[in-house]
Structure 1
Amino acid sequence: MIIAARRTPIGTRGRALARLRVEDLAAPAFTAALADAAVVLEDGLEPRIADVILGNCMGPGGNPARIAALAAGLGVEVPGESVDRQCGSGLAAILDAAAAIRAGDARPRIAGGVESASTAPVRSIEGVAYERAPFAPEGWADPDMVRAAEDLAVHDGISRERQDAHAARSHARARAARAAGRFDGELVPLAGLEYDDAIGAAEPLLRRLPALFPGGSLTAGTATRIGDGAAATVIMPRHLAGSAPGLIIRGHAVVGCDPALPGIGAAPAALAALERAGVDRDRLAAIEIVEAFAAQSLAVLDRLGLAEDDPRICSDGGALALGHPWGASGAVSMVRLFSRLVRAGAPAGTLGLAAASIGGGMGIAAVVEVVR
């Protein structure tokens, strides 16, 4: 059961959070989530945290979860595990923590994700730097994510107009949520940054931005901004949480798909998670799908049979507006569900879905339910 969920603002790479290392981002989110957990639990958070599981994609190595645990003052006896499932890493970390508890270890855990794209090390082989490791072996299609999104737009016939409208809607929803204070309960301000700094940044330019590929439809405005940030949840067995409100994981799934079209992975993952949870998509009250690109998000929604303007989907804006801190984004989606459902007072039994497509041709999703 997730009893607390916090995140930092997402800072665009190279901007407000650029000087903070992964532990500088993650530790404050840990501390805030633990403080929230202590408030809702009648007898405090006992026993001590059993483990810290943290999604991270781009380094710096050295087990960021353990380093962040020490930086947060959790004590030398608290171990850490770092998970790399690319854009699904943060959500994968939460599912791994829940699985450990279901397996019989009833001690609470911290799980989430962190990414400092600004401080990620340059990687090289024999002194030659490369931008990213391969997502597939030789002989397989292995497009970078921008190329993959353009290819998906062509494959599915997703127009420039639909993409622009989707990005504009994400920004408009995020601006409204920020003005209404709907982010305030989840955010841990850092380095003078109080809100996600990409909100609204591309909105006035969307229809004027040039295509990223000749004759293509993808633009800088319909691709998310790479960001720095962290998200953390506190997870424990439901029977030890007393009357504390929270989210239980009803069903989850990780699936593979064609590496040539990795952006569609969230769709089969969501369908599998719904089937395992035994619920229909129409019963979902809140849906968070990581919006790496407008074309990718639209392709997923089309496959799920969901309208692109469905108010349940990223109702406060998604990654197109908030930013995309790779290894943290899946955990950010869970924090958003916690705010939209638990903090907002949704009744017990209300259902939500978090999902992400993953580089290399995978998808991850989880169905959650409010308990009170």
Structure 2
Amino acid sequence: MSRDPSSRPVVVAARRGPVGTAFHAFKDLTVEALAVPVVEAVARDVAPLGLPVEDVVLGNCTGPGGNVARICALAAGLGHGVPGVTVDRQCGSGLAAILLAGNAVAAGEMDLVVAGGVESASTAPLRTRRGTGVPYERAPFVPEGWPDPEMGPAAEALAAARGVSRERQDAYALLSHAKALAAREAGRFAQEIVTVGGRDDDQWPRPLRARSLARLPAAFVPGGTVTAGNSSPVSDGAAAVALVPESLRAELGLPGLRLLAGAVVGCDPALPGLGPVPAVLRVLERGGADLARVAAVEIVEAFAAQVLAVTDALGLDPLGADAERVCADGGALALGHPWGATGAVVVTRLFSRLVRRGAPAGTLGLATAAVGGGLGVAALFEVV
């Protein structure tokens, strides 16, 4: 990322579609059908700037292959001169796409880029290896001989390794749903959500009861602590932002989120849920900030166990003193977890929490996600 403040990328618009549980609300919508309304909305938001969108960068994990971003750019009416590039860092893809777009802006290569992510788990193709005819669930995250756990068992292993109890996991899941329901009732999602497939609200948040959560059996490991209730649902959705250089933002007098630092790091693939910890520490160091100064934290809530292990390691208390800092309006446990989009969803949430609600200049926000295979991605933003 450029050290020249005038070239630092700034998010000046952010939108997302509703998140739907896989095989339900958006079961017939392809990745393009999910992403195009969101890309169109972001392009409309920045149309008064009078600048052409120069590229579209979208994260996607399990789509049909090919360049999904190019297809979306064309379908959104941005013109055949907009190339598009598709990024796969698994469930960090949406945030990684924003970081890549930010690098292009910081380097002076582009003045306006739309970036984000999309996932349609409902319409993802079945894949087979030539000659077998038997579909496989996913490609390996690591080479043969390395630990390559599925995400549920990995969350269970992380809970055991870090002493995250079933009671805390259930309490965090309960809180995430309660926050999301309160935010929806108060209209705090209204400005960020774009109507997709005739729907303008998230499908999943629901009132939960502690007794009901406590009765759920372990979902992945017999006698374990990770359940369907304290895990995020597999989901469909899309989100995108628009980035411009700080010099242009200042000239136009727009509010926004300036990207101070971004990082993608590796960690032990046996415990991939801990990836946000080194990623967050790196962006704080690069951004010259202390975590105590960060007013808003958005972490992809793949599993309550994973969120709590990460926040414990960072010294945050999302069940107590930091409940209004960490995922203040709920997160993926309540809204859903569309893998390729979810990293862009958390940036959209930061934009709503800080920019749309008028946080003062200089306020810091942090977005982060854990990634299968042992990765962490994080970004530090500042209100300008």
Same fold at TM > 0.5: yes
How do 1:162-201 and structure 2 match up within 5 A?
162-200=168-206
1:343 to 352, 356, 359: 356
Answering whether residue 220 of structure 2 is matched by residue 207 of structure 1, we say no
283, 299, 308: which is aligned to 2:309? Answer: 299
48-57 or 189-198, larger mean C-alpha shift? 189-198
> What SS does structure 1 have at the residue aligned with 2:229?
helix
CA contact (8 A) 2:43 2:53 kept: no
C-alpha distance in structure 1 between counterparts of 2:214 and 2:196, whole Å: 33
Match of 2:226 in 1: 218
How far apart are 1:202 and its partner, in Å?
A: 5.6
- State which of 62, 69, 80 in structure 2 corresponds to 1:58: 62
1:201 Cα deviation after fit: 6.3
Q: Secondary structure in 1 aligned to 2:91?
A: helix
> Partner amino acid for 1:62?
G
Compute the displacement of 1:35 (Å): 1.7
Q: Is the 1:202–1:221 contact (alpha carbons within 8 Å) kept by the matching residues of 2?
A: no
Letter paired with 1:331 = A
Quick one: structure 1 residues 216 and 163, their matched pair in 2 at CA, closer, same or farther if it must change by over 3 Å?
A: same
Alignment of 1:1-372 (within 5 A): 1-38=10-47, 44-125=48-129, 126=131, 127-200=133-206, 205-212=212-219, 213-241=221-249, 242-309=252-319, 310=322, 311-371=324-384
Provide TM-score, normalisation by structure 2. 0.93
Query: Structure 1 residue 274: deviation in Å?
Result: 0.6
| Deviation (angstroms), 1:156 | 1.1
Q: Is the 8 A contact 1:224 1:291 kept in 2?
A: yes
Does the aligned pair in 2 maintain the 1:203–1:221 contact within 8 Å? no
How far apart are residue 186 of structure 1 and its match?
0.1
SS at match of 1:221: coil
- Cα drift, residue 71 of structure 1: 1.1
Amino acid at match of 1:10: V
CA deviation map 1:120-172 (0-9, x unaligned) = 00011131211011111111100000110011111111111010001001001
Q: Are the equivalent residues in 1 in contact too, given 2:164–2:305 (CA < 8 A)? A: yes
* Whole-angstrom CA distance in 2 between matches of 1:369 and 1:278: 12
SS at match of 1:236: strand
Once the 2 structures are TM-superposed, how far is the Cα of residue 16 of structure 1 from its aligned partner? 1.1
Q: For 1:7-54, what per-residue CA distance to the aligned partner results, in whole angstroms no more than 9, with x for missing partners?
A: 00100000111111111111110111122223xxxxx23331111000
Alpha-carbon distance in 2 for matches of 1:308, 1:234: 30
d(CA) in 1 for partners of 2:209, 2:41: 31
Contact 2:318 2:325 in 1 (8 A): no
SS in 2 for 1:348: coil
Runs ≥4 in structure 1, deviation > 4 angstroms? 201-204
| Structure 1 gap ranges (5+) | 39-43
Task: Work out the CA distance in 1 between the residues paired with 2:229 and 2:208.
Answer: 6
Provide the identity percentage. Answer: 61
CA gap of 1:226–1:202, structure 2 versus 1, over 3 A, is: farther
Tell me how far 1:358 sits from its aligned partner. Answer: 0.5
Is the 1:171–1:203 contact (alpha carbons within 8 Å) kept by the matching residues of 2? no
**Separation in 2 of the partners of 1:318 and 1:128?**
35
- AA aligned to 2:201 is Y
Count, aligned residues: 366
2:19 and 2:235 in contact (8 A); partners too: yes
Q: CA RMSD in A?
A: 1.1
